[in-house]
Chains A and B, each alone.
Chain A
């Protein structure tokens, strides 16, 4: 039982390492994992999406809930 548990743990760790290695290799080969959606990126100016989501609109949403 303990033997199969440690075998599974090793397998999972190895699979995590494999996936990380593949992602790293492909990033070097093909570029970053996500392709920027350029049209939208131009429209939201310089700030990333999460800036607007968290600092600008979340307070608006929370206020509107209580109005």
Chain B
């Protein structure tokens, strides 16, 4: 690194054992604190978490992974017309979980031994291991910067947020990152076993989430590119092709049990739900590009104004997109003596991210790949030809990862992909990849004396500010999540306090999965307040011992309105 007093001081601090242990300990304490701040009852920020929780409880109690979900309201709804679950699959007259079985199945073991709090163990451990992996992949180049990569992954990326959700995203991201690290190792050592390991990890990640195929595609594309790159000249193309074939074979072999399970239990090798979604994607494919191709870039980088997310006026969305591109190609712009353009882009990115981060306007989602972690634009520094082989490998993987994700976004035609999310969750595996490429690339930038010293200092300063903005976004997201969960905990208490002879009817399609214990223990229906039950329905309900029906709807963001009527009276 440079000899400037700032870098010497930073190096001294980063080399200090005390600082290292403080950083590692502080990160672990931050995650533990996050765990303890979660309500001690099963209320969830996302309905997806609640759905997986219901499935996990079913597996834990029945020791079967394919059993249907319970539905206490079946006696009054035999046709399953008012099931209050936001997402579910129907098989005959059975209610099946919408989500793949694997994460709930793994979590059920932890749940049996550790109870409710234990369900977050896998997501949190995955986040911690991902940060450790980021450290490991950079430590060969610089132990100081390896600490930076670890801290940024753990505290300034959506890995932090999703580590505190009951979701498989961090576990999937860990497996995909292991695949990336294995393929980079394979390129360096030219050993087929690392290619095999990469295929194995990609296959395992596919069990958890089907969009892993995007990253498998990225690995494949970068592998093909690597065959033709000049650094592979000493290795015959046939040898590399055969190693890629080993990767593909291992990937497919790992998937065989999954496909057999899907075919035998769900009637389709992709699984019931993935088959439905693949059919939907194929029927709407390229529609996103056809109707709003121009908006794809700002939508991907800044995000779309859906699912409670923030928006900027169109001109600023484009300013954000152009600033992102300019920062990503900064190495090339600086070579053309266009440093002013780079400064302009960096200042614009900092200003726009700052406006969104500190705005008092409420938002509960962030969809933008760069907005949530703006420092990832420095991953472009990992593509400089003068970098070492490993840095170039990570830079190359980042570029192909981004390209594969963009292609998948255009093909899938879904502008709000991910729904309620804090950072694009389908792109979560990209974040540690981009962080490693950025850290390794910046290391070369700081030491490159062909770039003016003042420019290097300015860029380092911008990077630090962008990382702090990333930390800020994680803090804001976690605060929003904790607030939502505590609101839902209060709602759960209110609903559980209703007498047992009450039928709960709600027009909130996501309520049951947000408070799944209420769904499991009470008779609950999805029913609008305008719905008037038929007389024979009322009679059956009264014969079953129910005396009241309580309409539940949201009075404000924080309050539930529960209005109860007597079933036998003239309330209807």
Highest count of chain B CB atoms <10 Å: which of A19, A43, A52, A60: A19
- How far is it, in angstroms, between the C-alpha of A9 and the C-alpha of B319 when the chains are bound? 23
Residues of A within 8 A of B482 (CB): 57, 61
CB distance from B45 to the nearest CB of A (A): 14
Highest count of chain A CB atoms <10 Å: which of B305, B344, B453: B344
Give the contacts of A15-47 with B (CB-CB under 8 A): 15-16, 18-20, 22-23, 26, 29-37, 39-41, 43-45
Residues of B within 8 A of A8 (CB): 339, 343, 452, 454-455, 457-458
Q: When the two chains form their complex, are residues B479 and A35 in contact, meaning their CB atoms are under 8 A apart?
A: no
Q: When the two chains form their complex, are residues A19 and B351 in contact, meaning their CB atoms are under 8 A apart?
A: yes
Q: When the two chains form their complex, are residues B458 and A19 in contact, meaning their CB atoms are under 8 A apart?
A: no
Give the contacts of B306-323 with A (CB-CB under 8 A): 308-316, 319
Consensus secondary structure, chain B interface = helix
Stretch of B58-66, B242-250, B358-366, B431-439 at the chain-chain interface: B358-366
Residues of A within 8 A of B479 (CB): 53, 58
- How far is it, in angstroms, between the C-alpha of A60 and the C-alpha of B347 when the chains are bound? 37
A19-B347, A43-B554 are known contacts. Are A1 and B360 too (CB-CB below 8 A)? no
Highest count of chain A CB atoms <10 Å: which of B312, B359, B362: B362
Q: Point out the residue from A4, A37, A61 that lies within 8 Å of B452, measured CB to CB.
A: A4
Q: When the two chains form their complex, are residues A50 and B360 in contact, meaning their CB atoms are under 8 A apart?
A: yes
Stretch of B31-39, B78-86, B129-137 at the chain-chain interface: B31-39
- How far is it, in angstroms, between the C-alpha of A35 and the C-alpha of B315 when the chains are bound? 12
- How far is it, in angstroms, between the C-alpha of A19 and the C-alpha of B348 when the chains are bound? 6
CB distance from A41 to the nearest CB of B (A): 7
Question: What are the 6 A-B residue pairs with the smallest beta carbon separation, nearest first?
Answer: A8-B454, A49-B362, A43-B557, A30-B313, A48-B360, A15-B343
Binary interface profile of A, 6-17, with partner B (CB < 8 Å = 1, else 0)?
011101101110
16 contacts between A and B (CB under 8 A): A8-B458, A18-B344, A23-B316, A26-B316, A34-B312, A34-B359, A35-B305, A37-B305, A37-B362, A44-B556, A45-B556, A49-B361, A50-B360, A64-B37, A64-B39, A65-B36
CB distance from A55 to the nearest CB of B (A): 12
Interface of A toward B, CB cutoff 8 Å: 1, 4-5, 7-9, 11-12, 14-16, 18-20, 22-23, 26, 29-37, 39-41, 43-45, 48-50, 52-53, 57-58, 60-61, 64-65
Highest count of chain A CB atoms <10 Å: which of B305, B343, B361: B361
Q: Point out the residue from B339, B352, B457, B557 that lies within 8 Å of A11, measured CB to CB.
A: B339
Is B237's beta carbon under 8 Å from chain A? no
Residues of B within 8 A of A50 (CB): 360
How many contacting A-B pairs (Cβ < 8 A)?
121
Binary interface profile of B, 344-358, with partner A (CB < 8 Å = 1, else 0)?
101110011001100
Residues of A within 8 A of B356 (CB): 34
Q: Point out the residue from B305, B352, B355, B557 that lies within 8 Å of A44, measured CB to CB.
A: B557
Residues of B within 8 A of A49 (CB): 360-362
Chain B contact patch, size range: 35 or more
CB distance from B320 to the nearest CB of A (A): 11
Give the contacts of B432-491 with A (CB-CB under 8 A): 452-455, 457-458, 479-480, 482-483, 486
Q: Which residue of A lies closest to B39 (CB)?
A: A64
- How far is it, in angstroms, between the C-alpha of A30 and the C-alpha of B483 when the chains are bound? 32
A4-B452, A19-B348, A52-B483 are known contacts. Are A35 and B313 too (CB-CB below 8 A)? yes
Q: When the two chains form their complex, are residues A52 and B558 in contact, meaning their CB atoms are under 8 A apart?
A: yes
A30-B314, A34-B312, A57-B482 are known contacts. Are A4 and B453 too (CB-CB below 8 A)? yes
Q: Which residue of A lies closest to B314 (CB)?
A: A30
Is B537's beta carbon under 8 Å from chain A? no
Residues of B within 8 A of A31 (CB): 313
Residues of A within 8 A of B309 (CB): 37
CB distance from A6 to the nearest CB of B (A): 8
Residues of A within 8 A of B457 (CB): 8
Q: When the two chains form their complex, are residues B308 and A37 in contact, meaning their CB atoms are under 8 A apart?
A: yes
Residues of A within 8 A of B312 (CB): 33-35
Q: When the two chains form their complex, are residues A41 and B361 in contact, meaning their CB atoms are under 8 A apart?
A: yes
Is B340's beta carbon under 8 Å from chain A? yes
Q: When the two chains form their complex, are residues A4 and B483 in contact, meaning their CB atoms are under 8 A apart?
A: no
A1-B453, A40-B557 are known contacts. Are A34 and B33 too (CB-CB below 8 A)? no
- How far is it, in angstroms, between the C-alpha of A37 and the C-alpha of B340 when the chains are bound? 35
- How far is it, in angstroms, between the C-alpha of A36 and the C-alpha of B33 when the chains are bound? 32
- How far is it, in angstroms, between the C-alpha of A14 and the C-alpha of B339 when the chains are bound? 12
Contacts A26-B313, A43-B556 aside, 20 further interface pairs with beta carbons under 8 A come to A12-B343, A12-B347, A15-B347, A29-B315, A30-B314, A34-B355, A34-B356, A34-B361, A35-B312, A36-B361, A40-B362, A40-B557, A44-B557, A48-B361, A49-B360, A49-B361, A53-B479, A61-B37, A61-B482, A65-B33
Q: Point out the residue from A1, A23, A29, A52 that lies within 8 Å of B351, measured CB to CB.
A: A23
- How far is it, in angstroms, between the C-alpha of A29 and the C-alpha of B486 when the chains are bound? 40
Residues of A within 8 A of B346 (CB): 15
CB distance from B144 to the nearest CB of A (A): 25
Q: Point out the residue from B308, B316, B452, B483 that lies within 8 Å of A53, measured CB to CB.
A: B483
Q: When the two chains form their complex, are residues A40 and B364 in contact, meaning their CB atoms are under 8 A apart?
A: yes
A7-B454, A8-B454, A33-B313 are known contacts. Are A44 and B362 too (CB-CB below 8 A)? yes
- How far is it, in angstroms, between the C-alpha of A35 and the C-alpha of B302 when the chains are bound? 14
Q: When the two chains form their complex, are residues A26 and B359 in contact, meaning their CB atoms are under 8 A apart?
A: no
CB distance from A7 to the nearest CB of B (A): 7
Residues of B within 8 A of A33 (CB): 312-313, 316, 352, 355, 359
Q: When the two chains form their complex, are residues B308 and A40 in contact, meaning their CB atoms are under 8 A apart?
A: yes
- How far is it, in angstroms, between the C-alpha of A49 and the C-alpha of B357 when the chains are bound? 13
Q: When the two chains form their complex, are residues B340 and A15 in contact, meaning their CB atoms are under 8 A apart?
A: yes
Residues of A within 8 A of B483 (CB): 52-53, 57, 61
Q: Which residue of A lies closest to B456 (CB)?
A: A8
CB distance from A22 to the nearest CB of B (A): 7
